[in-house]
Amino acid sequence: MPISILYIVTVLIWGTSWYAMRFQIGAVPELQSIAYRYLLSAALLILFCLVTRRRLRFGWRDHLFCAIQGATLFWFNYLLFYIAASRIPTGLLAICFSTIVVMNIANGALFFGTRTERRVWFGALIGMAGLGLVFLPAILGIEFSRAHLEGLILSLVATFSASLGNMVSVRHKRAGIPVVESNALGMGYGALLGLVAAGLFSAPYRFDGGAPFLLSLGYLVVFASVIGFGSYLTLVQRIGADRAAYASVLFPVLAMLLSTLFEGYRWTAIAGLGILLVLAGNLLVLLKPAKAATAPAPIPAGTPAPMPANRTLRP
Domain ranges of the chain: 3-286
More reliable by pLDDT, 68 or 275:
68
Whether the upstream peptide bond of residue 204 has omega within 30° of 0, thus cis, is yes
Mean pLDDT along residues 128-141: 78
**pLDDT tens sequence across 173-221:** 999 999 999 999 999 999 999 999 998 888 789 999 999 999 999 999 9
More reliable by pLDDT, 4 or 182:
182
The pLDDT confidence band at residue 301, using thresholds 50, 70 and 90, is very low
Residue 92 has pLDDT above 80, yes or no: no
Residue 287 has pLDDT above 70, yes or no: no
The pLDDT confidence band at residue 291, using thresholds 50, 70 and 90, is low
The pLDDT confidence band at residue 91, using thresholds 50, 70 and 90, is low
